[in-house]
């Protein structure tokens, strides 16, 4: 798996773009079309789409389509989006392992570095740290210091 510098906002924007582009059922939705529609860098859009696929907001087949979680995301409020992100993130083994490592007293950075090695995540360390922090902060899973937030 590869991970670039991703924000929850970018994931949501890609999901919404795919929804909009899929309204024309005659055309398949590709990452190139999402990139052109959003006018963001191609790498940034691809990374956001990859995270959205991993989080099960998007199905990746001949055409990018929304899953049921993706459908819920496009019509949700910010608070609902945060809850949905949390639910989807908790389905991922690397996130659950990260929570365990932090709970055991590892700093956020040390825990993420262990996840990078354990799950062979490719990318720049600072970007991966940023992405995990941003996604987990948005989902109210960690606080600004990288500590676990209680529900």
Task: Give the gyration radius of the chain's Cα atoms.
Answer: 15
Determine the CATH number of domain 8-74.
1.10.10.10
**Spatial separation of the C-alpha atoms in residues 30 and 18, rounded to whole Å:** 8
Q: Please report the DSSP string for 53-85 in residue order.
A: HHTTSEEESSSEEE-HHHHHHHT--HHHHHHHH
What are the domain boundaries of the chain? 8-74, 78-138
The pLDDT tens digits for 89-144 are 999 999 999 999 999 999 999 999 999 999 999 999 999 999 999 999 999 999 88
For the chain, helix, strand, coil in percent to 5 are 60, 5, 35
The pLDDT tens digits for 41-82 are 888 899 999 999 999 999 988 899 999 999 999 999 999 999
> Is-above-0.75 flag for pTM?
yes
């Amino acid at each position: 798996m590869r991970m670039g510098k991703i924000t929850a906002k970018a994931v949501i924007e890609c999901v919404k773009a795919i929804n909009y582009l899929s309204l024309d059922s005659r055309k398949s939705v590709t990452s190139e079309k999402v990139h052109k529609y959003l006018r963001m860098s191609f790498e940034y859009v691809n990374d956001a789409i990859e995270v959205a696929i991993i989080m099960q907001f998007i199905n990746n087949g001949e055409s990018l389509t929304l899953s049921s979680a993706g459908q819920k995301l496009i019509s949700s409020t910010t608070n609902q989006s945060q809850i949905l992100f949390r639910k989807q993130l908790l389905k991922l083994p690397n996130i659950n392992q990260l929570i365990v490592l932090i709970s055991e007293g590892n700093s956020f950075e040390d825990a993420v570095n262990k996840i990078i090695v354990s799950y062979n995540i490719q990318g720049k360390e600072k970007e991966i740290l940023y992405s995990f922090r941003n996604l987990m902060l948005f989902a109210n899973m960690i606080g600004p210091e990288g500590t676990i937030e209680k529900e």
